[in-house]
Structure 1
């Protein structure tokens, strides 16, 4: 285990380099598991448990004769004694009022930052203040996480971002029927007096049984919906399902902040995650991804000796200061993760570069799920309104329209006739005779079958032959008898 003193980093160069390496690991890892305790809420004004000014010391100082130790006030056995039960209710009511007046600290917002950057695999917390939900992480004990399906799961495990291991002080639960309700001002008023309110659901059932002359049942009392020591968790099965799912996804970094790691159940959870994270890291220093596979513990007090070999780095200091340095180094090392894309539109119909623009969308390029602005349903497929365009060239429509000469098509692109053997296809295929009429007259029929006579019709026939494409016959030389040899 390497111990890094956050306050002494200015004087030690090796500490500065080691802290910068941890910041780079946070910036590069994509599946980070964070386990937190009461130490991350100290800056919000909520005391932790085991420090000199924590809750245990405050309880012992305020009620010295009622409880032996401060831990006894958060043990399930306190309900056996009415006096310790009344003290418990009074103390929880005062703690709830101080939590309502406080706001989330920098560490809570850092968890939400990791989630928005798609780097947070899951957050597990021992805190009951619900500050993670105020920062934007859906808690397992909140009403929004309740499952309305028919399955065995009581919560929507896939949507839960922060697992509340010790319950939620903002809700109350019946000790008899386990019905849950939001903690109201009336509940706090009765808790502050040391009185437990009756369960409305049990009271309604009891009155219904009395109305039908049935045997009356016991009416349960409401108590803060937090998990005490030696008490089973109402959502234990669902939390076990979430933990197994996160282990199977093989996280690449584990950050533990603000807890002393004393609770048995939390120790088991941290050791299992640490084993998985170390298996995801590089097997040798020479291999790539040296920034993965680290287990970091941030707390003012050191962990016990049993964590040697499990925790890699112990950062001594406040969690708020460490997350502030990680965020600052992250912005310097990887500025592209912090770029924001803005969508601008012109105002007053001016589309020139000198017009006024307004931002209609601002999305983070790395963290946002979708950088495109989705169109509204009522404006889908609607053309934009016409805007006045200012052009530097004369309007084209004002110019006179001239006749454009179209060149003739090439022979290969001319329209072909339906029949290949047409008269116009080639001169050699043109008809040399006119088509005969159907049904010849008697005079014309004699021209075909009778002897030739010098007639007007024959002259007409000769004229028709002259109009054809045939060349005239060549004249034959006259016959003179024997040829006379010259020079004989």
Structure 2
């Protein structure tokens, strides 16, 4: 058996059928009429194309419902209470697009009762108006069917209007107004008809509600008692309580004027006169702002708020329940979104509201506003510090380490006296130069003894007293706090009166010129310590060469002035000779050990050198 046949039998891939796409079009194994589809060129270039970037997969946030009981301090553990309170404060302080759905519960502290509680209007109105069933009948559209029910309805409306006029916005109302001033309140959907929200300028509403943006901050889902409306011409005017007395509703003045103009002056038949009624939405009737409210909610859904607070409502109205359910789903899709339920009553049952709440607060709405500690809505001052919670304080305290105070060593008395007597240059030269090897030890293996005492290090714990000491007004401005020693200060005071030398002149070594000289030059070198190179080159005209250019101002200032010379200085050229010197004298001068320049030398110079 040949080698090729053995390799085919022993190969594990020989039993795998080949792909029809990888076989050539003219393969005899393909059935007749089978056409091979060639992939596009982009699929063949897989190795050349870069790999797709992997997207970071964020695991969904595990949401658990927290509970906060503000009615009792012992109802839950301290840990659960602090965690739930931290969640609440972060929601009301840090969220930027907050939607609030409020009910009658936020106005109870203002003196206006709610509807369905044990002391609500439904129970109180039943005994007051001697109703057969609940007081809910006075808020139904059927009150206009008979005169008795209409009279009782007008009586109840006058009482509620008087209560609303005497009431003032609560702490929670002012809290909502502060959110609106800060620009963090996206919308307030209120079911109240007392009008306490809209009495605050930041929460002003619009009646009737527009179908297009911009919309006000407050959306009245059930109207309000501050306006009245004609049932026929839909004219809206301010509410006047004294007109609603008795069983018959008051007539619309707009309709009366239009009907008089039509019948008296035009001689046409009357179209009727409308009657006024409070602009509140009763049960089993159409809401005039229904389409506008739908446009507002749709826009808020697209904005994707990051917090929803449902407060003071029993969620018995189906339309409000639907808005809350959809809003909670949008907020919970956001990783940092928070949904809060605030009420004395528990969450209403129902599958549509299951797993909708991140935090359930049992307590008063004013207590929540008090815990938030926001400033009043009309306070123009700005915040000097960021908002923080108790959990943030604990986290900072646990991460805060010890404070280390370094006190620089104080120089000895002898050093201080020497710094006063000696000039600054002498004190600086007393410091030994720094080793070229840096911090490496010497060859002997011993470290040089340090004459300067080491700094003192003191570690202190963070306490209230240390925090006060670290305040800006408690900072001591001295030399040690700026990192300067007393020696540096003394040197700095003395150096103010002296002219500072350049670094180049201090570090520059004196240049030594080795010249053999004899006679007068030798004696001059001994006296002055300086020998200049003679210049003996003479021009043909017999005149002195022009003086050389002076040195640069910096170099000229750093070098010492030249020593006085004789009449024939080595700097200036000697006068031209009358007669050329003799050959023997020139040769005798060249035989000396000194280096002589080329050219003729005057006789007087030769005699001077010899």
Q: Same fold (TM over 0.5)?
A: yes
Specify which structure has the bigger relative contact order, considering alpha-carbon pairs within 8 angstroms and separated by 6 or more residues: 1
1:204 to 250, 257, 263: 257
Partner of 1:158: 214
Q: Distance in 1 between matches of 2:386 and 2:194?
A: 31
Partner of 1:2: 66
Partner of 2:292: 238
Q: Distance in 2 between matches of 1:21 and 1:9?
A: 18
Shift of 1:16: 2.1
Shift of 1:12: 2.5
Partner of 2:280: 226
SS at structure 1 position matched to 2:197: helix
Matches within 5 A, 1:43-62: 43-62=109-128
Q: Do structure 1's residue 277 and structure 2's residue 331 form an aligned pair? A: yes
Ranges in structure 1 where 5+ consecutive residues have no aligned partner: 147-152, 283-291, 339-488
Q: Distance in 2 between matches of 1:80 and 1:141?
A: 30
SS at structure 1 position matched to 2:366: helix
Shift of 1:195: 3.6
SS at structure 2 position matched to 1:315: strand
2:179 to 88, 111, 114: 114
1:104 to 165, 169, 184: 169
1:137 to 202, 220, 230: 202
Q: Do structure 1's residue 336 and structure 2's residue 385 form an aligned pair? A: yes
Shift of 1:314: 1.3
The 1:336–1:160 alpha-carbon spacing in structure 2 relative to 1, beyond 3 Å, is: same
Structure ID, larger Rg? 2
The 1:28–1:154 alpha-carbon spacing in structure 2 relative to 1, beyond 3 Å, is: closer
The 1:58–1:180 alpha-carbon spacing in structure 2 relative to 1, beyond 3 Å, is: same
Q: Do structure 1's residue 320 and structure 2's residue 386 form an aligned pair? A: no
Matches within 5 A, 1:86-485: 86-142=151-207, 154=210, 157-184=213-240, 188-211=241-264, 212-280=266-334, 282=335, 292-306=336-350, 307-327=353-373, 336-337=385-386
Ranges in structure 2 where 5+ consecutive residues have no aligned partner: 1-64, 377-382, 388-610
Contact 1:74 1:228 in 2 (8 A): yes
Contact 2:67 2:84 in 1 (8 A): no
SS at structure 1 position matched to 2:202: coil
1:80 to 115, 120, 145: 145
Contact 1:140 1:155 in 2 (8 A): no
Q: Distance in 1 between matches of 2:153 and 2:230?
A: 16
Q: Distance in 2 between matches of 1:70 and 1:302?
A: 23
Shift of 1:77: 1.9
Aligned length: 312
Contact 1:78 1:84 in 2 (8 A): yes
Contact 1:167 1:226 in 2 (8 A): yes
Shift of 1:70: 1.2
- TM-score normalised according to structure 2 size: 0.49
Contact 1:258 1:299 in 2 (8 A): yes
SS at structure 2 position matched to 1:336: coil
Q: Distance in 2 between matches of 1:46 and 1:59?
A: 13
Runs of 4+ in 1 over 4 A off after TM superposition: none
Q: Distance in 2 between matches of 1:71 and 1:217?
A: 34
Contact 1:139 1:163 in 2 (8 A): no
Q: Distance in 2 between matches of 1:337 and 1:205?
A: 60
SS at structure 1 position matched to 2:68: strand
Contact 2:143 2:150 in 1 (8 A): yes
Contact 2:178 2:375 in 1 (8 A): no
Contact 1:20 1:329 in 2 (8 A): no
The 1:20–1:245 alpha-carbon spacing in structure 2 relative to 1, beyond 3 Å, is: same
The 1:293–1:27 alpha-carbon spacing in structure 2 relative to 1, beyond 3 Å, is: same
Shift of 1:63: 1.3
